[in-house]
Amino acid sequence: MSQPGTHEDRIAVLLVDDQELIRYGLRLVLEAQPDIVVVGEASDGAEAVRAAQRLRPDVVLMDVRMPGVDGIEATRQLTAALPDTRILVLTTYDLDEFAFGALRAGAAGFLLKNTRPDELVAAVRAVTTGDAVVSPRITAKLIDIAMPHLARPDAPASDSALDALSPRERDVFRCVGQGLTNAEIAEALHLSESTVKAHFGRILVKLDLANRVQAVIRAYELGVVSVER
């Protein structure tokens, strides 16, 4: 959350997009929520880095395609300089060739710009709590682009890495790979959301993963889920 005394208990968000109309729409959606406040805006990556270092937002909504310093480089700089600030990348197209670059740069999640308002709000809240968001609508295509660039050289040829997971953890891992949120996984597997979070925490430890985005990638590498072509 924001620095004590600055924005009370509200989630501080910085909007970054070269289109003013897009920023205006995002602001309207987010500031309609009692627990979210937009603390600033930027129209390119360089401006975003300066603004984030000054404002210290909890979340940055980052466009990837911008003139000058693009969202990928801005994400790379911000994740290095402000590790507690979460970057949520908004892409315009399903097959955005820049999207996997943001993943490598440390983005906490991806959403399409035509995502429903409630999904956007939920994503902002999710990344603030340390979760990560990958829109189910772009997960498969994003991974299809990213796999040649992101596959680890030591990735096992078999599913031996999964031996450490319990059957229920494998179920949760598969759902994560499909891009489902914890709430959606809980509903699908008839579990409580807290139980899903506990399972997912153990999955991260057992597979030596840092966050949900890495878990999605690993699920594809291990064949737990497959890319629809």
Per the domain annotation, does 209 fall within a domain?
yes
* Percent of residues, the chain, with pLDDT higher than 90: 40
What would the pLDDT profile of 97-139 be if each residue is shown by its tens digit? 666 677 777 788 778 888 889 989 988 998 887 666 665 555 5
User: Of 120, 146, 172, which one is at a domain's C-terminal end?
Assistant: 146
Indicate the burial class of 101 (C-beta count within 10 angstroms; 0-12, 13-18, 19 or more). buried
More confident residue, 2 or 205: 205
In a shared domain, residues 21 and 37:
yes
Q: Lowest-pLDDT range, 64-78, 89-103, 173-187? A: 89-103
Do 192 and 80 lie in a common domain? no
At 192 the pLDDT is 94
Amino acid letter, 51 = A
DSSP string for 87-141: EEEEESSTT-TTHHHHHHHT-SEEEETT--HHHHHHHHHHHHTT--EE-HHHHHH
Of the residues 89, 117, 146, which one is the last residue of a structural domain? 146
The yes-or-no verdict on residue 140 having pLDDT over 60 is no
Question: How far apart are the C-alpha atoms of 42 and 45, rounded to whole Å?
Answer: 8
How far does CA 195 lie from the centroid of its chain? 21
Q: Is residue 227 part of a domain?
A: no
The helix/strand/coil state of 81 is: helix
- In this prediction, residues 138-144 reach a mean pLDDT of 57
- According to the model, what pLDDT value does residue 196 have? 93
Q: Are residues 54 and 95 in the same domain?
A: yes
- CATH number of the structural domain spanning residue 27: 3.40.50.2300
In this predicted model, which residue has the larger pLDDT, 64 or 179?
Answer: 64
How would residue 158 be classed by pLDDT, with cut points 50, 70 and 90?
very low
- Looking at mean pLDDT, say which of 34-43, 70-79, 108-117 comes out highest: 34-43
Q: Give a yes or no: residue 1 inside a domain.
A: no
The answer to whether residue 2 is domain-embedded is no
Residues 209 and 101 in one domain: no
Q: Are residues 35 and 142 in the same domain?
A: yes
Structural domain for 123, as ranges? 11-146
Residue 118 lies in a domain: yes
Residue 36 and residue 11 in contact, taking contact as beta carbons nearer than 8 Å: yes
Pairwise pLDDT comparison (229 vs 122), residue with the higher score: 122
Give the strands of the sheet with 86-91, arranged side by side.
Answer: 36-42, 11-16, 59-63, 86-91, 109-112, 133-134
- The Cα 40–Cα 165 span in angstroms is 43
179 plus 216 within the same structural domain = yes
125 and 49 assigned to the same domain: yes
Q: Are residues 118 and 62 in the same domain?
A: yes
Q: Is 136 in the same domain as 163?
A: no
| Mean pLDDT score across all residues of the chain | 81
Q: Is residue 138 part of a domain?
A: yes
Report the pLDDT value the prediction gives residue 8, as an integer from 0 to 100.
65
Q: Which of 152-156, 205-209, 217-221 is predicted with the least confidence, judged by mean pLDDT?
A: 152-156
Specify whether 184 is located in the same domain as 132.
no
Same domain (yes/no): 57, 102? yes
Q: What total number of domains does the chain contain?
A: 2
Residue 189 is assigned to a structural domain of this protein: yes
Asked if residue 228 is part of any domain, the answer here is no
The predicted pLDDT at position 97 comes to: 60
Which residue, of 117, 146, 175, is where some domain finishes? 146
With cut-offs at 50, 70 and 90, classify the pLDDT of residue 229.
very low
Asked if residue 88 and residue 21 are part of one domain, the reply reads yes
